[in-house]
Structure 1
Amino acid sequence: MFIHRYFEDPQALHINTTPHHAYFIPQKCGQKWENFEPEQSLFYLSLNGYWDFRYYLSPQELPESPNEVNFEAKIPVPSNWQTQGYDRHHYTNINYPFPFDPPYVPQNNPCGIYRRTFELNKKENKHYLLNFEGVDSCLYVYINQTFVGYGQISHSTNEFDITDFVQAGNNEIFVVVLKWCDGSYLEDQDKFRMSGIFRDVYILEREANYLQDFFIRTDLSPNLNNAQIKVETKFLENNQNIDYALYDPSGKLLIQQQTDKFEISFDNPETWNAENPRLYTLIMSYGQEQIVQRLGFRRIQIENGILLFNGQPIKFRGVNRHDSDPVTGYHISRTQAVRDLQLMKAHNINAIRTAHYPNAPWFSELCDRYGFYLIGESDIESHGSSMLAVRQTEPSIFLNVKNSYEHERIRQDNIDNLCYFARDPQFKEALLDRTYANVERDKNRTSVIIWSLGNESGYGENFEACAAWVKSRDPGRLVHYESSIYQHSAHRNDLSNLDFYSEMYAATEDLDAYFANPANLKPFMLCEYSHAMGNSNGDAEDYFQAFHRHPGSCGGFVWEWCDHAPYRDDKPEHFGYGGDFGESPHDGNFCVDGLVSPDRIPHTNLLELKNVNRPVRAWLEQGKVYIKNYLDFTNLKEILTIRYSFSENGKVINQSELQIDCAPHQIQVLDIALPADNGNLCWLNLDYVLTQPTDLLSKNHLLGFDQLIIFKQGALPAQIFKNKTGHFKIQDTAQTLKICQGDFSYELDKNKGIFSRITYREQNLIEQPLDFNIWRAPLDNDRLIRQSWQQAGYDKTYSRAYQINWIEKNEGILIQANLALLAVSQGRILNLAVNYLLGADGQMKISLRATRPEHLPYLPRFGLRFFLPKGQTQGQYFGYGPQESYVDKHHLAKLGIYPLNATDNYVDYLKPQENGSHYGSRYITLNSLHVSADQPFSFNLLPYSQEELTTKAHNYELKESPWDILCLDYKMSGIGSNSCGPNLKEQYRLSETDFNWGVFLQWSNPAR
């Protein structure tokens, strides 16, 4: 093996790399800078492309010298070698994919050898800097067979001065990349683990005394009327004069001067914010180089426990974002990143936490330009060491150590694991180094307003040193680190350099409790909340309300932006999650937890979040329509038009539009005359659309909407039973009650108390018994309650009748049934007193009272399940749609009349689960069936049974039912976000122990 074992030495972090510094690409003086891209620089030599590649299972297999390597293939750079057919994808959330034995890593440590040649027009008195913007996990660099240096930190730049190693003409570069190194203990992020050179590689030609680093410090006066700029520079050798030119956002030259210390101030600056990201341009020129930097002016502060941005209290409507793609892995192009930002802007997201490492170095420049607040997070997570302690400790004890000093109850060796890297002096420099890399690289980016020390790595002296350094280096920004709130060891946490109280997945009640305590003086930030796994984010509106209830709450960041799911090797047309690649250990589909799919198709979760975070909200009060502007810096007249219409029973009767002068955070009355009550269900639709296009959004883009119910009369269609006509034929046996009326025939199973058959002219209207239904295909968010449901037998219920009576009435035949829902080895789950009233021409009304024992868990749902013949389920419904909607997730949907069929109503999730429900429905009309009820109900119509959705692990494994399945629900429990978050709120649970329900069915000739 020709490489030194730096990869297991925590003190050997970088060998012969240049100091961490700001990201910039110099260009030649005189080059156009207005639309400059790095690749256009005459001083930039890209080494991206196809490199020779050889894969080894272990460094021990390496030959004695680089020139003995026999290369077997070519591989694109940048890329991950797992996306190119080497090694395997491996998903694990918390657990290390190797033994916990720091600083040692497995001897079977896969490595890749890269080689290419390049031509260099080497010039005298120039320096040549080789940059690797991202390599997982560490790299050894050789130029022309000579060792140049070593580096780690996967998501940060390693730069080498190769001036003395290159020659004019042809050169060879040779790179060894290891899958694991001691730094991998600090990179235990929740993601697929991939390896290789995954970001850009290039050489920069620099001046002999080149500008190595600079820090553009900007400030605003408290009244925002005066801006200051101070530029601190660091040259390779001695400082020298620089020609500075400052241009305003319109391109007008404001200031030009030559100096070695640039300090200026001017009045009436245009300020930067996420809604209106106004950027100035600073050009720094010396020798043959010019460096172009965009910058904005903003003021960040905390006052009286409230986060203020340019003097305004703001709320983060944020997401956590990885660099991730199902094809390219960690390698993300600018085009891919802009697509993410466009989708975020289109869905009212204003902030991003880079999870849990610095994203690509140019990503923050895009956020400057397009307007996003950034939390820049260091490449630090050692969650595996924390969970090692938890597994060896009683979990209930672990939960009690939060914000307490109950560490004595946990064995000291386990406590040490909780904070292993946070406290171990051997890793102090490594944590500091990763902090330096994060801050120094992105310190000139306006969008970065908060530095995060990392994620889920315990707390101790090492992080305290990191926080203190950040505060001294960059006092103009704020500092965040969530794990600091947990008191895990005998060391008493010093939080003096941290600006937030930050939690993950706290319930809204936790926010209320925090602000009820006057001793809590820091802003509350949810750095992760509302876990977007599968059909989720049912609590988005509740969090919005909690954020705005408390001035000290600065909002939060949904976990997370995109599903992580590469295409499978064995099924290349399908996405795969943990375990699909033969890896172990793994965490299953816990990586499929995004607001968008791996290929960036928005989930309904994102649509819900979009309208919850709409910039305008309207309400009715005393016959007037009020709106509030939830933007922080923009008057509504500058950006949007309100298009409004009135609907009666789902049909538009009047429409118009208006613009409104409403300042940020203010309330106005809309000049809209409400109609008179005419006995119909009437509501006002308000659509908020962009008046003018922006950099990312087109004109007329819908920013959100409101629906205001004006009159509720006529909300439900009349249920009119005709008087009995025609003759009822009744055949009553010990097991069956058969009733015929005209062309309709009904068979009631007297053992079960349900209809086993309903026909029209001997043609089936139902293909399976019309049964009572409490089960749903478990959501990812049901992963905890599911066990209780199944232990109670909810997934295996059947009905058992105790008494069946029938009588003739004027309206038809009334069947009275007392029955229960049972499951093997369980007591009664539900008692049902059911009245079936059969009328003429296929009319049926079902009225029931349900009771259940209080000790049982709340129900997933309660209703009826219909197995309907294929081809008889085309129709429409009046309810919330067209997207799926639930009691706690219906803000994405509008009340209206929508077409309906089983195929289109199905919502595809990679891990099958409950989907496609429609909350607040008034009626359903299908080919052979009309449904209404005595109160708004929920339903879904799907081509798959709930049993099929329950048992299959992937969407592509599903087999369609031979029938279409209609689940008609009195109520369904909400969906919440309990896959990694608080329990479903009480108000969204079907926890009633005694309730009544009435539903009206009108069967018809299926040929109609």
Structure 2
Amino acid sequence: MTGVHEIISLPVGAQPPRARTRSDAGELSLDGRWRFAWSPTALSGKDPADPGDTWDEIQVPAHWQLCGYGAPAYTNLRYPFPIDPPYVPEANPTGEYRRIVRRPPGWDGGRVLLRFDGVDSWFEVWLNGSLVGRGSGSRLTVEFDVTELLTGGDDLLAVRVHQWSFASYVEDQDQWWLSGIFRSVALLHRPAGGIDDVHIVADYDQHTGDGLLRVEARSREPVTVELTELGVRGVAGETIRVASVEPWSAELPRLYRILVATGAETISADIGFRTVRVDGGRLLLNGAPLVFRGVNRHDFDARSGRALTRDVLERDVILMKRHNVNAVRTSHYPPDPYFLELCDRYGLYVMVECDIETQGFSLVDWRGNPSDDPAWGEVYLDRMRRMVERDKNSTSVVMWSLGNEAGWGVNLAANARWTAERDPSRPIHYEPDVECEAVDVYSRMYPTFDELDAIGRHDEAALADPARDGRRRGLPMLMCEYAHAMGNGPGGLADYEAIVDAYPRLAGGFVWEWIDHGLAGDGPDGRRAYRYGGDFGEPVHDGSFVIDGLLFPDRTPSPGLAELAAVIAPVRMRLDGDQLSVRNRWSFSTTEDVGFRWLLVLDGEVVDAGLLDPIVVGPRSECRVALPPAVRRAERDTPAGGELWLTITAATGSARPGIDAGHVLARTQQRRRAAAPPTAAELLPPAPEARPTTVDQRFDHLARPTALGPFAVAQVGLDVWRAPTENDRCPGLGEQVSLETRWRAAGFDRLVDRTVEVRLGDGSVRRVARYGSPGLDSGFDVDYHWTARDDRLRLDVVIERRGEWRLPLPRLGVVLALRCAEPGATELEWLGLGPGESYPDSRSANWYGRHRMTVRDAQVPYVVPQENGNRSDVRRLRLTVPEGGLRIEGVQPFEVAVRPWSTEQLERAQHAAELAEAGLLWVHLAAGVTGLGSASCGPPVRSSGRYRAARVRLGFDFVPEAG
């Protein structure tokens, strides 16, 4: 039997969509505690006239699955029910909501509207037992007129929400399936003679510096327009030229307060003058190139799902600004409307996306896809209209997106035609329109580097239709999704940015995605754990594919976000001898308010510093300046010996929206003096001590030292394997087999060793070992040579591949397991790149210096444990515990990772909270490591980031230090 929620239909009883406004008319929030009852099926058995006095209470807004009713489920593209549109299972969880409302005094006359900003997925509304209407479109506002149903006393508001409905087929959006009233609910007073809708268009003429203002209003009364700051007074319906306005951009988000009024109502709006257009194959804002250095953002919080507070929304915007992000794609639906207010105010370009995705139909070859079924046409157009009408006055919205991964068809084409006619001021985007039939920009997801380069050169693969091919080649191109940030990664951000920089056609892109969707829970020992697909027992799920953000679930920035911030920095600097090149990548701002500072760093310690004279570079310009004499004097005065580096930082001179004064935008470094190269004697194993030494007191029967400083030695061995990253586990574009699969096939995860030879001498021991894997004849030959001299032990290692294979290695070096009472509390200090982790294709965020933290703090808490915490170009390493310290000095720069757990523990754990310290400190010293890539959904590690050495020689001095 067909339920009403399975009938393809528009919202019933809904008001025409209109702009979100800030009005002096009355508004009563209905957020708070509601009565609630839950049913596992659509037949809840509840009467809309039942006030629910004995029911539970639930917070609105919220998802009921996060309040103890039912359970969350995650899928990427698979529908968690049979594909049989528009029908859904009878097992259809349903929530019944009840609340008493009272019409506020002073609301006599006019109308009263009931507004829902977000209900997932389909709902019915009653007032005092009478049906008000029905709604769908989970992330879209719907309003109902309840004027005639309000009594002036206590009125019973009843809402029934079904988790599954016909609408679920067009909301398959790679996120948790969560239900309920999750955005705000309010009563609105619409006074007689008020303004039912307003459309504000504020264009900017870059040739004259003038603004063009036009306000269209829907009202029965005359409507006036006032912009006091600019001396503008007029009426709705006329176009007003406003002289000498300051244009709006994400760099300089200048807003003006405009008042639109009748005698009964005043609407205020903060508007910016700006013009977006496609011209000459480029995307332009106010006549200047518009390049998105953006992110894809779902509404998400680890505890509340998509029910976000204003504080959380503002925190996201501020974090974006502080990490040089200038754009947001609201994947894959319109956001909470307050988010757009914040983007207007702080300065972010926004691509608002329609609440449409049907990717699950791709698994059945797009059969029955609603996008190409005329029966769904009105539903599609209604969703587009509700988005455009609500957000049409948002200055930050510079592009409309028809939706995401919904295939192609007549309904999307119709949406594009309607949008182009309704709002010609903004370009239209839709990535699956690969032939650019209805869009204004060419869009790609996860292009390879070669593909992106070809598109930048207008040399992409041709379309069959020459006319369409010619049109597409003339359009700007953007990446609506790229650099999949799942787990440790993404690698290759700098390579992407270099290609975008090289070609005017390329308008940048949006990294996937902003935040890990890990739902908070309790792990072992009461530690917080974050859960992903399958953790709630759901039979259909897509595992950890929802853990793919630049922020961890608690909104802590990941190393990937730090890398992105460095790569997309608005100021770029390069040192060349005594010349500093400064490139201003802003389109509208000069560097007048940027302060440049120099620091001389000797072996990681700042020995001198100062300010550079102001360097003023115009937008999209570059200049070269000579380093001041003070730098060269300081360099001459620095004592000889050691490694000398010059660091230049660029920082904000004064506060900007979301950014404090003194915030470092960018830095560059140059090695001014190399450390003295190791002597031949240092490169070779040192001779044994002249004095007699009892060998067995220093080394065990396996030729390992028994102690290094305050640490007893539990293990010394070859280090090749790493706990696979999420990117290691996937083949990536253009490859058939993942790195993890290839590495396991080569046996890197199960190497066993055999001692070939042990030689003992006074103060030295040498062990030659052969490593291989069961069933394979390839492996490694390793020569360990320990020598005692003075106050230190020296380890020289030669590692040589054995066998015919060219496979890149996860890493290549040695690992030591040191006994330690509290490994995570060990103080870690190193001279090299830091402070964050670094890999061959992800190191732009780090700089050479001396860095300090605990071993525990050096771990990166990826929700799914995996390889992490590597530090590159390290010269010295110090480990300190209360009993003393151990200094490790490399004969050559090396890679290091120090962990309170083993690689095997890291690999076995499914959640970070499962990792437990076990009295061992694991020190990984490597000649090289393989990079990260973004193969989880994109290209794999480039060849330049794959470590392939066939033979390496490493040398380390281990020096005990007193406590």
Tell me, yes or no, whether TM beats 0.5: yes
* Preserved contact between residue 573 and residue 581 of structure 2 (Cα < 8 Å): yes
Tell me by how many angstroms 1:322 deviates: 1.3
* Preserved contact between residue 642 and residue 688 of structure 1 (Cα < 8 Å): yes
| Residue pairs, 1:265-276, within 5 angstroms | 265-276=241-252
Q: Which amino acid aligns with 1:327?
A: R
Aligned pair partner of 1:262 in 217, 235, 238: 238
Local SS of the residue matching 2:698? strand
Local SS of the residue matching 2:749? helix
TM-score of the aligned structures, taking structure 2 as reference length: 0.91
Aligned pair partner of 2:770 in 820, 824, 846: 820
Partner of 1:782: 728
Partner of 1:407: none
Taking the aligned partners of 1:707 and 1:335, their CA distance within structure 2 comes to: 37
* Cα displacement string for residues 329-355 of structure 1 (whole angstroms, at most 9, x for unaligned residues): 211122211111111111111100101
List alignment gaps of at least 5 residues for structure 2.
460-469, 731-738
Taking the aligned partners of 1:107 and 1:286, their CA distance within structure 2 comes to: 51
Partner of 1:850: 800
* Cα displacement string for residues 608-641 of structure 1 (whole angstroms, at most 9, x for unaligned residues): 2112222211112253111111112111113x21
Taking the aligned partners of 2:578 and 2:913, their CA distance within structure 1 comes to: 52
Assess, with a 3 A threshold, how the Cα gap between structure 1 residues 931 and 505 changes in structure 2: closer, same or farther: same
* Preserved contact between residue 814 and residue 838 of structure 1 (Cα < 8 Å): no
Aligned pair partner of 2:413 in 464, 478, 481: 464
Taking the aligned partners of 1:328 and 1:816, their CA distance within structure 2 comes to: 57
Taking the aligned partners of 1:1003 and 1:793, their CA distance within structure 2 comes to: 34
Taking the aligned partners of 2:728 and 2:601, their CA distance within structure 1 comes to: 37
Partner of 1:241: 222
Partner of 1:726: 690
Aligned pair partner of 2:501 in 535, 548, 567: 548
Taking the aligned partners of 1:362 and 1:306, their CA distance within structure 2 comes to: 30
Partner of 1:5: 3
**2:314 matches 1:360:** no
Local SS of the residue matching 1:67? coil
Aligned pair partner of 1:704 in 658, 666, 676: 666
Taking the aligned partners of 1:959 and 1:727, their CA distance within structure 2 comes to: 44
Assess, with a 3 A threshold, how the Cα gap between structure 1 residues 854 and 623 changes in structure 2: closer, same or farther: farther
| Residue pairs, 1:517-528, within 5 angstroms | 517-518=458-459, 520-528=473-481
Partner of 1:970: 927
Taking the aligned partners of 1:766 and 1:834, their CA distance within structure 2 comes to: 15
Partner of 1:601: 556
Assess, with a 3 A threshold, how the Cα gap between structure 1 residues 920 and 75 changes in structure 2: closer, same or farther: same
| Residue pairs, 1:286-325, within 5 angstroms | 286-325=262-301
Local SS of the residue matching 1:644? strand
* Preserved contact between residue 716 and residue 922 of structure 1 (Cα < 8 Å): no
Q: Which amino acid aligns with 1:26?
A: S
Local SS of the residue matching 1:291? strand
Taking the aligned partners of 1:214 and 1:590, their CA distance within structure 2 comes to: 41
Taking the aligned partners of 2:48 and 2:155, their CA distance within structure 1 comes to: 18
Tell me by how many angstroms 1:650 deviates: 1.6
Tell me by how many angstroms 1:936 deviates: 1.6
**2:490 matches 1:537:** yes
Partner of 1:794: 748
**2:41 matches 1:58:** yes
* Cα displacement string for residues 367-421 of structure 1 (whole angstroms, at most 9, x for unaligned residues): 11110000000001111111x23xxxxxxxxxxxxxxxxxxxxxxxx2536xx12
Tell me by how many angstroms 1:137 deviates: 0.5
**2:603 matches 1:649:** yes
**2:56 matches 1:73:** yes
Assess, with a 3 A threshold, how the Cα gap between structure 1 residues 934 and 421 changes in structure 2: closer, same or farther: farther
Aligned pair partner of 2:918 in 939, 951, 961: 961
* Cα displacement string for residues 732-757 of structure 1 (whole angstroms, at most 9, x for unaligned residues): xxxxxxx45xxx522464xxxxx345
Tell me by how many angstroms 1:808 deviates: 6.9
Q: Which amino acid aligns with 1:694?
A: R
Taking the aligned partners of 1:223 and 1:172, their CA distance within structure 2 comes to: 58
Q: Which amino acid aligns with 1:416?
A: R
* Cα displacement string for residues 659-685 of structure 1 (whole angstroms, at most 9, x for unaligned residues): 321111211234523535756422211
Tell me by how many angstroms 1:939 deviates: 0.5
* Preserved contact between residue 838 and residue 845 of structure 1 (Cα < 8 Å): no
Assess, with a 3 A threshold, how the Cα gap between structure 1 residues 114 and 716 changes in structure 2: closer, same or farther: farther
* Preserved contact between residue 934 and residue 997 of structure 1 (Cα < 8 Å): no
List alignment gaps of at least 5 residues for structure 1.
29-42, 390-413, 486-492, 731-738, 750-754
* Preserved contact between residue 215 and residue 236 of structure 2 (Cα < 8 Å): no
Partner of 1:129: 113
* Cα displacement string for residues 883-906 of structure 1 (whole angstroms, at most 9, x for unaligned residues): 222222222222112235433322
**2:327 matches 1:341:** no
| Residue pairs, 1:135-174, within 5 angstroms | 135-174=119-158
* Preserved contact between residue 877 and residue 900 of structure 1 (Cα < 8 Å): no
Partner of 2:627: 672
* Preserved contact between residue 193 and residue 263 of structure 2 (Cα < 8 Å): no
Aligned length: 923
Q: Which amino acid aligns with 1:1000?
A: F
**2:449 matches 1:508:** yes
* Preserved contact between residue 929 and residue 1001 of structure 1 (Cα < 8 Å): no
* Preserved contact between residue 628 and residue 666 of structure 1 (Cα < 8 Å): yes
Taking the aligned partners of 1:715 and 1:757, their CA distance within structure 2 comes to: 28
Partner of 2:352: 376
Aligned-CA RMSD value: 2.6
* Cα displacement string for residues 422-475 of structure 1 (whole angstroms, at most 9, x for unaligned residues): 212222222222111111110111100010111111112221111121111111
Taking the aligned partners of 2:686 and 2:557, their CA distance within structure 1 comes to: 47
Assess, with a 3 A threshold, how the Cα gap between structure 1 residues 57 and 382 changes in structure 2: closer, same or farther: same
Local SS of the residue matching 1:385? helix
Taking the aligned partners of 1:965 and 1:80, their CA distance within structure 2 comes to: 43
TM-score of the aligned structures, taking structure 1 as reference length: 0.87
* Cα displacement string for residues 240-292 of structure 1 (whole angstroms, at most 9, x for unaligned residues): 31121113xxxx251123x3523211221110000111112221111321011
Partner of 1:686: 648
Taking the aligned partners of 2:522 and 2:551, their CA distance within structure 1 comes to: 22
Partner of 2:430: 481
Partner of 2:590: 635
Tell me by how many angstroms 1:207 deviates: 2.4
Assess, with a 3 A threshold, how the Cα gap between structure 1 residues 218 and 869 changes in structure 2: closer, same or farther: same
Aligned pair partner of 1:758 in 703, 706, 715: 706
Taking the aligned partners of 2:86 and 2:926, their CA distance within structure 1 comes to: 56
Taking the aligned partners of 1:69 and 1:904, their CA distance within structure 2 comes to: 50
Q: Which amino acid aligns with 1:725?
A: E
Q: Which amino acid aligns with 1:246?
A: L
* Preserved contact between residue 193 and residue 262 of structure 2 (Cα < 8 Å): no
Taking the aligned partners of 1:141 and 1:133, their CA distance within structure 2 comes to: 14
**2:725 matches 1:772:** no
| Range with bigger deviation, 702-711 or 721-730 | 721-730
* Preserved contact between residue 820 and residue 828 of structure 1 (Cα < 8 Å): no
* Preserved contact between residue 199 and residue 331 of structure 1 (Cα < 8 Å): yes
Q: Which amino acid aligns with 1:648?
A: L
* Preserved contact between residue 813 and residue 839 of structure 1 (Cα < 8 Å): no
Local SS of the residue matching 1:862? strand
Taking the aligned partners of 1:967 and 1:8, their CA distance within structure 2 comes to: 58
Partner of 1:946: 903
Tell me by how many angstroms 1:601 deviates: 1.3
Assess, with a 3 A threshold, how the Cα gap between structure 1 residues 633 and 928 changes in structure 2: closer, same or farther: same
Taking the aligned partners of 1:572 and 1:913, their CA distance within structure 2 comes to: 19
* Preserved contact between residue 246 and residue 281 of structure 1 (Cα < 8 Å): yes
* Preserved contact between residue 98 and residue 158 of structure 2 (Cα < 8 Å): yes
Assess, with a 3 A threshold, how the Cα gap between structure 1 residues 427 and 854 changes in structure 2: closer, same or farther: farther
Partner of 2:463: none
Taking the aligned partners of 2:885 and 2:556, their CA distance within structure 1 comes to: 35
